[in-house]
Amino acid sequence: MKLAVITDSSISLPKGFEQKENLFILDIPITIDQESFVEGKNLSIIEFYDKMAKSSDLPKTSQPSLAELDDLLTQLSDQGFTHVIGLFLSSGISGFYQNIQYLVEEHKPLEIVFPDSKITSVPLGLMVKNIFDWAQEGLNFETIVSKLNRQIDQTTAFIMVDDLNHLVKGGRLSNGAALLGNLLSIKPILYFNDGRIEVYEKVRTEKKAIKRLVDILKEFTADGQYEVAVIHSNASEKADKFSQLLIEAGYQDLSISEFSAVIATHLGEGAVAIGISPIIED
């Protein structure tokens, strides 16, 4: 088996993970004031926040290029790859997953699977890392896909944002939830529910919301072993304080990462989240 993994630039790869020659990342363009950018190519994360703050309109993202994925699959077949796993931004916040399924039949004899990750950012990165780890262990393709699906089913993230308008105007959250958040000073805790971003609970203040997030994490990790990541959008101080609360609650082995510009486009500056991903041992 010669395995390739394809993902997109909404991903945040784990610290210490070395870029693999058989890992391919499709760009998700970000449009700011009618100009297109790709983080890491013509835009740094610092420049992104600066441009977003100065822009008269909120930034927008596009889907990865379908034609680029089509061409890449042809190239992979020509290069002797036999199996492909494509793992992209959740179908609940992007139509790319639905749009690419026909490519599975178009690129025979490559054995291709495009599971719905139902997530993004660090949890997506952990899925990609695990695929390579399982392949390194010598597991066959069917077993890798089975373990990956188990990981997907038990992965989620809880999010607290400073401004719901980014999610609302991007079509990722209902207007009703934004109205409550803006007019009633409610600090909603959001989460990924079957790949969609929805309101989990409504809390009155940010301080109470952060405390509640600690309790939620305890509830969701009580039945097994999980990797936990604190993720933020240009809110390192807030993330550090939140991480300290988690450490005091017994979560010693956790990571702190930053959202990619693609995800920060929809969450806005100041968001803090916890990504929860199961450790699949058997």
Structure confidence by residue, pLDDT tens digits, 216-236? 999 999 988 999 999 999 999
Count CB neighbours of 239 within 10 A. Answer: 21
Q: CA 124, CA 130: separation in Å to the nearest integer? A: 10
Check pLDDT > 80 for residue 266: yes
Average pLDDT in the 43-53 region?
95
pTM of the model: 0.92
User: Tokens 């290029």 sit at which residue?
Assistant: 65
Question: For residue 157, what are the contacts with CB-CB under 8 A and spacing of at least 6?
Answer: 119, 121, 123, 191, 192, 231, 273, 274, 275, 276
Count CB neighbours of 21 within 10 A. Answer: 7
Average pLDDT in the 130-142 region?
96
Q: CA 73, CA 169: separation in Å to the nearest integer? A: 34
List, for residues 151-195, the tens digit of each pLDDT value: 999 999 999 988 777 777 666 775 555 555 554 567 888 999 999
Specify whether the CB–CB gap between 37 and 57 falls below 8 A: no
What pLDDT score does 139 carry? 97
Q: CA 41, CA 135: separation in Å to the nearest integer? A: 30
Locate all alpha helices (DSSP H) within the chain, ordered by sequence.
Answer: 45-54, 66-78, 96-100, 103-106, 121-136, 141-153, 165-169, 175-183, 206-220, 236-248, 261-267
